Amino acid sequence: MTSVEFAYATHPGRKRSLNEDSLCIEPELSLWAVADGMGGHASGEVASGLVVQELPRQIREGKALASAILDTHRAIHRAAGLGQGGHDMGSTVVAARLRGLSYQIAWVGDSRAYLWNGALRQLTRDHSYVQLLWEAGLIEEADMASHPGRNVISQALGGSEHQEIKVDVVSGELSPGDSLLLCSDGLNSEVPDAEIARILSSTPNTSARVDRLVDAALEAGGNDNITVVLLTARNGRAFD
């Protein structure tokens, strides 16, 4: 029998006293998500908290993952209109749902999902300014990590009342030993993909992998909040 184990951690980092990241850990719904409240918006921690509160509620009502994220976007706007948080509060989200070992990933913003199957592959495409510049051929891929606009995202949940969003979705199938990694940019902005891959390849235990990834981000500077969720397909194992 093949099942999935998971581990997760969140840390404010070394430079910020407030953690604006939030986690959704709902194994009974086969739902996991990372939300990163926008530091450039008012009350980012409120927005990310609303994401992880509203998203599972929408899933319980039978919504598909992308539809649930769209409704969560609208819920943040409603909350802002009622005086909860700030008027322009916003959040990214990357969410995973599993049915057996089939996965679906949906996201808005620059929080990421990766697949580890002996090699590391980014499943998501950042909704960011530098991503748009690279796709337009205006900068080189090697320049993306150091570009002064690297932290500017092109869409988020909440934010401007008139902002329209597009939820991107990818799907696939896990094999025993494969892992899905969800993270806020506090991980991947500090730790290169090659180092993430080295940690995943050299550490078999799911919880230890998560701890080592967070430690690596802190050792690299910890300039942002860091959140990591790791799901690993195992033979004959139950959920952690």
Task: Tell whether the model's pLDDT for residue 50 goes beyond 80.
Answer: yes
User: If pLDDT is split at 50, 70 and 90, which confidence band does 43 have?
Assistant: confident
Task: Tell whether the model's pLDDT for residue 199 goes beyond 80.
Answer: yes
Q: 206-219 vs 193-202: helix axis angle to the nearest 10?
A: 150
Integer angstrom CA distances of residue 146 from 41, 67, 68, 141, 149? 22, 34, 34, 10, 8
Task: Tell whether the model's pLDDT for residue 213 goes beyond 60.
Answer: yes
Higher pLDDT, 106 or 2: 106
Task: Tell whether the model's pLDDT for residue 216 goes beyond 60.
Answer: yes
- Name the percent of the chain lying above pLDDT 70: 86
Number of C-beta neighbours around residue 61 at 10 A:
10
- Average pLDDT over every residue of 77-102: 92
Task: Tell whether the model's pLDDT for residue 110 goes beyond 60.
Answer: yes
User: If pLDDT is split at 50, 70 and 90, which confidence band does 13 have?
Assistant: very high
Higher pLDDT, 86 or 225: 225
Residue 150's pLDDT is what? 66
Higher pLDDT, 70 or 82: 70
Number of C-beta neighbours around residue 80 at 10 A:
24
Question: Rounded CA gap, 140 and 117, in Å?
Answer: 27
Residue 128's pLDDT is what? 73
Question: What average pLDDT does the structure give for the chain?
Answer: 89
Close Cβ partners of 200 (under 8 Å, ≥ 6 residues apart): 116, 120, 179, 181, 209
The residue assigned the tokens 């908290």 is: 49
Higher pLDDT, 231 or 135: 231
Task: Tell whether the model's pLDDT for residue 206 goes beyond 80.
Answer: yes
Q: Tokens standing for 239? A: 């959920």
Per residue in 115-160, pLDDT (tens digit) is 999 999 999 999 876 766 656 676 666 666 666 656 777 899 998 7
